Every structure is written in structure tokens, then in C-alpha cells.
Structure 1
């Protein structure tokens, strides 16, 4: 059996008090260098590991942040997670990452579980923020920041882009290139960011150009590659095919490109394709995908930094940054051609 080494064992081994060991472990500067060295040597000899739970109970801080991620297999969210982790490491916080599978019931359960584990703060990433979510947030005694999403009334701190403007800019680029018959592969309209906001951006760009919103040109996908494949088959069956497709996500856009190619069409010569996200695969597919880049790493990093301000009660600075909107950028590649 492995015997658990305690702070008492370290104190006895080093010939100091338990209070001295505690000060060393917690990086208290009021310890003589010689004593500190002696304690560290004892810790190494005995293989002592401080009990984070006990320390958390004593200090009422666990230096742990909970992160709820909607789909860990989606490269968009993994890039956000990288930004979160880098800033968390910089400020000496540990991360508990929980995948929620884009299911509301699981998201609520995970939020409550993380709060029960006494995390110091919570980052909720992506997806719709419903009344049930807000109710769970209200019971929290620790700060919460929404990451790559917002709540409808901006009652919770958030970091995101302007999804409507990103979609507007993407569709406007198609219009500037002479396209008039523009189809959209949308996300679910219950999703305020990737779904509804991006559909609104498409709609407003079409209306601004005096172009009709044709019902047969708008179809709902599930953000993934497979739905891009399937929805594009519908567009190809129309007697009046679109000359361009705007997809709400890169994965669906890549699915669209492959369906077009499988049916003997050339992108962008026959049909142009554009989307929003700028995942790594966007530059790997051929032709390379023109897309609106979301600064996913920055969204994660800024969210974590805002959370540290709230956790450390830097309220004056944090209150000025409760709703942070980061800039997006159109990345011009090879999937959009001019239509004469």
C-alpha cells in the first residue's frame, strides 16, 4: 500500500513547524532561503504533494476554473480552449474542461457539477443561453464569462464577435462579385450566434442590395461537414440553381464544395462558396476556402483574462469590459469568383 505523506511528515523531516512548510508551499516570501531549501529537499525526499482540496477549503480558493465546451471534436472550440489554457497558466489557474455535446440538459448538469466542485470561476463556451442557463448562473457565487456566445439581454459578461456583421460582410463580398442568386446553409435559428445572427446578416446583406430572400435558397444544417454535403444536393436539384453558397460554418462550406465537385461542377467557376470561422481545414481544402475569420484563440484568451479580473475583484476594469466584441476579418482565398 502507498502511504500518504502529510504536511506533518514534511515538517518533521525538515525539522520545522507545519506553519513553515505551509508558507513554503504557498510561496510566502517570509521564509529564510536556507529554511526554504531545507523544506523543498524534504518534500522531494518524501514525494509530498500538497492537498489542493484542503488548501482550497482553508483559503476559500481552489485556483481552478471550469470550462463548458459544446463539442470538443470541433476544431473551432479547441482553438478557443488553447487561448483559455494559455492565459490560465499565466495566472496560475488550473482548468477543468467539460464537453456538453451541444445538449442543453447536459450543459446545465455540467455547470452545476463544476459549481459544486468549488471552482473559482466558470467559462461557458458556445451555444444558446436559455432561461435555464441563466437560472443556473444566478445560483453561482463565483464569476461567469460567456465565451464565443452572449445572452440575449447582455446580463452576463461575454467575449465574442459580431456574428451578424461577419455574415453580412461575407454575403456582401459575393454581391460585390456580381452574384445575385445566393443560397445559405444556415445553422439552427434557435442558436443566437452561429445560427440566427448569421442568418440575419445574410438577410440584411440581400435586402441592402435589393435581392429577394428565396425560401428554396435557405436550408438549415447542423454546422457539421455532413449537413453541408446533404443541403448542397438540394440546391443542385433546383431548376434555378444558385451561383453562390454562403455557409454559416467552414465545415458545412467544405461539405458544399465536395458535393459540387462530386457532381462535376467547379468551384468557384460554376458556383462560389464562402463561410465564417477560418478553421485550419479552410486553407487545406482545394480550392482554398474564402471565409470570415473569427479570432478564436483571442476569444479564449480575452475571456480567461476577463474572468481573472472578475475573480480578483478588479471590478472597475472588469465593469468596463463586460461585453467584449472582438474584430473579424475576411480572408480572401480561392473559392469566390466574379460573376459577369
Structure 2
């Protein structure tokens, strides 16, 4: 008998039991005698039987598969979130289909539709920008969707994040207490709500709380890359800026190296805070002070929230905000 032709019927026949009994064994149903269970499992092993996930999904209306949309699999921030998602998915016996969107709105829509066509039971979306088109796609879908480490100012779908505004306010105020008044806000795209509506507002609040006038010339919008940060160092020096808050670690790394290569001493003459505390923050010299987000936990909690929605469990909070900390390393005094 060829392995690829083995069916649940063959397992039942070889075991001398009904197909319903085989199904109960496969699904972990306790209402099967131990001797029968062992006999069926031995036949499954002997025949190298693999249940057909598609067929099981058609029968149960569930595929036990979750789609995860990630903007960049090489980004330490999102890959840390994905680890938390995967571990909880495994715990609840869900398989993961990981799809890379390249942080491109058109590709995000395409990837979302591809996952929906695969009849996934739920989707976890990680992305830097939630626009109206994407919200419309979310709304049209009957599939449960949860955002992980991604904000939507409209709260159109459940999400798990930290308080980004409060975190940036906290780190900016620490720079102010160190004697800095000309503090740059170095950001990725302002099309991203997390930067424009949360992080920037936290930065502005810190200035207001300390009677420092906001100067939009100290706000630098970039693509968030290392090269952008490195080039920005020249502008920071020319504008006599003594400290900066960066919205991601790659951008901060570029600023740090750009300043160091131009002869500026960090943190003696220039202080720098970053926002994601990925491995890069500790790999830099000097090591970067940072907001510390519970990245693994954000992913894990998002997956657990999705399982509750998929299983129609009662949910106390659809918009989860986890705690954060500030770690001060060698890029600040």
C-alpha cells in the first residue's frame, strides 16, 4: 500500500474498529479504551498515516491554522513578536502560516486575501500603517483578526500594544532632567499612526510638562533606516542638538555611529534614546538606552486573545496595553 493513499478507512480496517473510533483517537477524545487507543496508534504508525488537514477542516469548519502577516521577517522587533505568537499557537495546537508583506500596503491587502482564501481560522496582523483600505478589508472579512505591536487609532480590530505616547514622554523627560533642551525627535514615516499620533505626542507632552517650546525643526521624518540615521548626524551637529529620541533601533544605530564618526562623544556631548530594545541596542557601542517593550509577551498575548475570539470565549479587554520599562545604558548620562 502506497503511503500517500493511506486513508482513515485503511486505519479503521487494519485496526478492526470503526472510523469514528479512529477519529476519536486522532482528536484526543478520552472516551476510548486504552487498549483500543494503543492498537489504533500502532496501526497509524505502521501505515505512516497523516490526517488530511483540508478534509478535517471541511468536516469541522476549522483548519486549526492561523495566518500571521509580518512586514519584515528580518526586523528584530517583529521577529520577537512572532516567537511569542508561535509558542502560544503551538500550545493551543494551531499551525502558523507566516506571510511577509514587505511593509507595502498593496502587498498587505494581497497577502490578507491569500490567507483568507486558505480558510485560516484567524489572522494576526503586524504592520506599521493601518490605513482606511486595510480597515475596509478587515471589516469585509468574517475571519477574526488581532493586531500585535501595531496601532489603529480607530480601534477597528482588537490589539495588543504598550502605551507608546507615555513611553516616549518618559524617555524625553529623562533627557530633559539631564540638562538637555534641544532634543531631536528622529522618526520613521509620519504616515504611521504609532509615530504621528502616539510617539510624537509623547515627545511634545514632555516638552510642555517642562516649559520647553516645541520646535518643529527638531522633528526629523525619515524612512527609519540605518543610512537615514547616519546622514542625520550631520544635521544634528549643525543644529546644535544635544540629545535625540529615535523611534526605532536601526535609525538610532545610524545616528550613534554618525555622531561617533564625526568626532562627537556619546553620551558626554550627545545623548540618545531608542524605542524597541532589540538585540541591536545592546550590540552597539556605547550600548543604547531604550524603552523596553515586552515583545515576546505582546505576540503571546495577541495569539491568546485570538484563540479566545475564535473559540467565542468571553473577553474582558479587546484592546490590551501591556507595561513597559526604561533601561538606561551608556548612550545617556
TM range (shorter): over 0.9
Contact 2:70 2:101 in 1 (8 A): yes
Residue in 2 that maps onto 1:261: 260
Q: What are the superposed Cα offsets for residues 245-303 of structure 1, whole Å, 9 maximum, x if unpaired? A: 11111221111110011111111111111111111121221111111111111110111
Residue in 2 that maps onto 1:304: 303
Residue in 1 that maps onto 2:248: 249
Change (3 A) 1:176 1:165: same
CA RMSD of aligned residues (A): 1.5
Runs of 4+ in 1 over 4 A off after TM superposition: none
Contact 1:188 1:196 in 2 (8 A): no
Residue in 1 that maps onto 2:287: 288
Residue in 1 that maps onto 2:327: 331
CA distance in 2, matches of 1:12, 1:182: 75
Residue in 2 that maps onto 1:180: 181
Task: Please say which of residues 294-303 and 146-155 is displaced more in the overlay.
Answer: 146-155
CA distance in 1, matches of 2:187, 2:6: 57
Residue in 1 that maps onto 2:95: 94
Residue in 2 that maps onto 1:11: 12
TM-score by length of 2: 0.96
The answer on 1:46 being equivalent to 2:42 is no
Where does structure 2 lack aligned partners over 5 or more consecutive residues?
none
CA distance in 1, matches of 2:193, 2:186: 16
TM-score by length of 1: 0.94
Within 5 Å, give how 1:88-237 maps onto structure 2: 88-236=89-237
Contact 1:306 1:321 in 2 (8 A): no
Task: Please say which of residues 269-278 and 224-233 is displaced more in the overlay.
Answer: 224-233
Within 5 Å, give how 1:21-60 maps onto structure 2: 21-60=22-61
Q: Secondary structure at the match of 1:66?
A: strand
Q: What are the superposed Cα offsets for residues 156-205 of structure 1, whole Å, 9 maximum, x if unpaired? A: 11111111111111111100111011112112111011454212211221
| Pairwise CA distance, 1:231 | 1.7
Aligned length: 332
CA distance in 2, matches of 1:276, 1:307: 26
Contact 2:67 2:124 in 1 (8 A): yes
